[in-house]
Amino acid sequence: MAIVNRKIVLASRPEGMVSESDFRLEEEEVRELEDGEVLLHTLYLSVDPYMRGRMSDRKSYADPVGIGEVMTGEIVTRVEQSRNAKYQAGDVVAARLGWQEYAISDGAGLRKIDPSSAPISTALNVLGMIGATAYFGLLDVCKAKEGDTVVVSGAAGAVGSVVGQIAKIKGCRVVGTTGSDEKLKWITEELGFDAGINYKTSESLIKDLARHCPDGINCYFDNVGGPVTDAVFPLLALNSHIAICGQISMYNATKAELGPRFLWNLIPNRATIKGFLVFDYYDRFPEAMKDLTEWLLSGKIKYQENVIEGLENAPKAFIGLFHGENTGKQLVHVSD
Amino acid sequence: MAIVNRKIVLASRPEGMVSESDFRLEEEEVRELEDGEVLLHTLYLSVDPYMRGRMSDRKSYADPVGIGEVMTGEIVTRVEQSRNAKYQAGDVVAARLGWQEYAISDGAGLRKIDPSSAPISTALNVLGMIGATAYFGLLDVCKAKEGDTVVVSGAAGAVGSVVGQIAKIKGCRVVGTTGSDEKLKWITEELGFDAGINYKTSESLIKDLARHCPDGINCYFDNVGGPVTDAVFPLLALNSHIAICGQISMYNATKAELGPRFLWNLIPNRATIKGFLVFDYYDRFPEAMKDLTEWLLSGKIKYQENVIEGLENAPKAFIGLFHGENTGKQLVHVSD
């Protein structure tokens, strides 16, 4: 009996806030494998803010998803059938094969996962792109070192929560901004952040940040942009570094938002701002994975997952990212 | 007979646009020299946009000028009397001794100038802080290299005009923005810029820049800020570098101006923005001076001076900088 694949495709390019109607669930029969191929059955898929960019046809670092094409994204998946000598049925691998239940691969871009060392979902989180983004963004772009004051926006998000914990491991003072008191409690009481600010209830982000960063801000890891980021610039320390990892507050904007001009702040502080993509660090991933695995297994890095059940709910899980519904990593559980 | 010094002191801290009433001319008798000291007679003084920052009491990289204190700044000056073995009457030196006719120095911070190699006023221009700012900002901060497209704002100003010419020497395509057709003509016809834009008459800075930078912008040297800089961000090339040298359009602002948020542009392009101060390159000045002297004497770098006569007119010369009255370097001729 033929296997039927269910997949989520891009139905339309969103104008402004993405909605469920921008996606469509489709079914198709899975074809027979050819030599060298494997059939993969998705276990978990990851939804991440960067995917909003792929839904637009704006020029960017990667081609946009075409209308009718499967939504792009990382998955953890299991080999169901194999005609590739490197893989056998039952192997668990991480791949970038998008929002679908089944996929055929020639093996390119697959990464084997050892289910006995850590839960397989961590391959989409601390032990995957999320962890590497936090690691290189903080240590290479922000150049965080012992004694620095590090501010991270989106601190209870997947990347932000790892950034803060690595910064603590490295001996930094860490202040996070987040969008609820519950998240604030998690980052300060569970993850060890020195302080946190709920940007939705803060009466003055600058005053609150200044209070928590009495020596100024040496490193700012930005996932969010907008008013939180505006408040950082007047508080920069000498030779400070700002990593622009994401700007989630902008991704659904329909026109250029205005904010206070701040570039003059960079001159007296000789501050550096750099936009970065984790893909540029691909060659150095093993270095990050070695440290992150050690920290995860020794309990120095903790994580939280929001898991939504069922491929058909991937759009809802994705849209929730823009409403701050997730604490930690947002995942979709597709099959056991 | 005692020598009388005339000096321009800060009378009040300006709110918004600086005016002549923020300065006051004072006279005082010059005291006798002590051992090790020299009496200096100012020949030229330099007015530069950064001095606006020293008139405010806002925290910055240098202490503000106090009310009643001599306005800070670079001068070219001649030794009148010497009780210091390293200097003799007639020596010409560059110094940071401010807006006054006479000054006493113990020799610290003086830099001897050879009047036979180049006009002495170039020590306040191409062969001084101006040239070093252009040199390190373009080559070290912007990392300009052969084949790059370089955009410079304030292109007909003292720093900008040198930036563009160094970029041409290094084999870059160079586009300048400036505020008059006369300046535009100077940078393109005399200095060799590939193209220029009069930002005051451009109907679309983005379209004009895009037309002149068909492969995107690799390096942006910013003296100005504001709408010109806004137009650069959508046109950045991969791995581009932006040097924030000045933001003259902001210096007299009374409140934070708003502009379009642009940080998201940095991510796909992995762009870097860095604020810098030439003082951080002090140890490398000889390297810049060697190249700049060679380029100046061989005619590869040209310059233009706006010279206003008389110490009493220094405030007027300074204020003119913010109205774009200068083409090239603005100087005040104090004595022969």
Residue pLDDT, tens place only, B24-66: 999 999 999 999 999 999 999 999 999 999 999 877 778 899 9
Can you tell me the mean pLDDT for B129-153? 98
- Cβ pairs A/B, distance under 8 A: 117
Instruction: With cut-offs at 50, 70 and 90, classify the pLDDT of residue A1.
Output: low
Name the residue with higher pLDDT: B66 or B255.
B66
Per-residue pLDDT at B255: 80
User: CA angle, B299 as apex, B294 and B304 as ends, to 5°?
Assistant: 110
Domain range annotation of chain B: 4-124+304-333, 129-279
Q: How far is B279 from chain A (nearest CA, A)?
A: 11
Q: Are B276 and A270 in contact (CB < 8 Å)?
A: yes
CA distance B79 to A210: 49
pLDDT over 80 at B226, yes or no:
yes
For A272, the closest of B270, B274, B280 (CB atoms) is B274
For B260, the closest of A226, A258, A274 (CB atoms) is A258
pLDDT over 70 at B265, yes or no:
yes
Instruction: With cut-offs at 50, 70 and 90, classify the pLDDT of residue A137.
Output: very high
Instruction: With cut-offs at 50, 70 and 90, classify the pLDDT of residue A54.
Output: very high
CATH number of A4-121+303-333: 3.90.180.10
User: B129-279: which CATH number, 3.60.140.10, 3.60.15.10, 3.40.50.720, 3.10.20.30?
Assistant: 3.40.50.720
Interface confidence: ipTM more than 0.85: yes
- Verdict on whether the full-model pTM lies above 0.90: yes
Q: Are B270 and A265 in contact (CB < 8 Å)?
A: no
Beta pairing partners, A331: A46, A307
Task: Kindly list the residues of chain B whose beta carbon comes within 8 Å of any beta carbon in chain A.
Answer: 53, 59-61, 222, 225-226, 229, 244-247, 250-251, 256-261, 263-277, 280
What residues of chain B lie within 8 A of the CB of A222, using their CB?
263
Pick the closest to residue A38 from A113, A107, A92 (CA basis).
Answer: A107
Pick the closest to residue A165 from A188, A182, A140 (CA basis).
Answer: A188
Instruction: With cut-offs at 50, 70 and 90, classify the pLDDT of residue B325.
Output: confident
pLDDT, tens digit (0-9, with 9 covering 90-100), for B65-86: 999 999 999 999 999 999 999 9
pLDDT over 90 at B247, yes or no:
yes
pLDDT, tens digit (0-9, with 9 covering 90-100), for A278-329: 999 999 999 999 999 999 999 999 999 999 999 999 999 999 999 988 899 9
CA distance A308 to A46: 10
Mean predicted lDDT score pLDDT of chain A: 95
Per-residue pLDDT at A250: 87
Pick the closest to residue A130 from A118, A117, A121, A141 (CA basis).
Answer: A121
Residue of chain B nearest A230, judged by CA positions: B261
Q: How far is B238 from chain A (nearest CA, A)?
A: 9
Instruction: With cut-offs at 50, 70 and 90, classify the pLDDT of residue A52.
Output: very high
How far apart, in Å, do the first and last CA atoms of chain B sit? 21
pLDDT over 80 at B154, yes or no:
yes
What residues of chain B lie within 8 A of the CB of A240, using their CB?
none
- With tokens 């004072």, the residue in question is B26
Q: Are A247 and B229 in contact (CB < 8 Å)?
A: no
CATH number of B4-124+304-333: 3.90.180.10
**Backbone phi, then psi, for A15, in 5-degree steps?**
-105, 115
CA distance A282 to A23: 30
pLDDT, tens digit (0-9, with 9 covering 90-100), for A223-261: 999 999 999 999 999 999 999 999 998 888 888 789 999
pLDDT over 90 at B144, yes or no:
yes
CA distance A116 to B68: 74
Per-residue pLDDT at B1: 66
Q: Are A257 and B261 in contact (CB < 8 Å)?
A: yes
Asked if A3 contacts A30 with a C-beta cutoff of 8 angstroms, the reply is yes
Pick the closest to residue A52 from A328, A244, A323 (CA basis).
Answer: A323
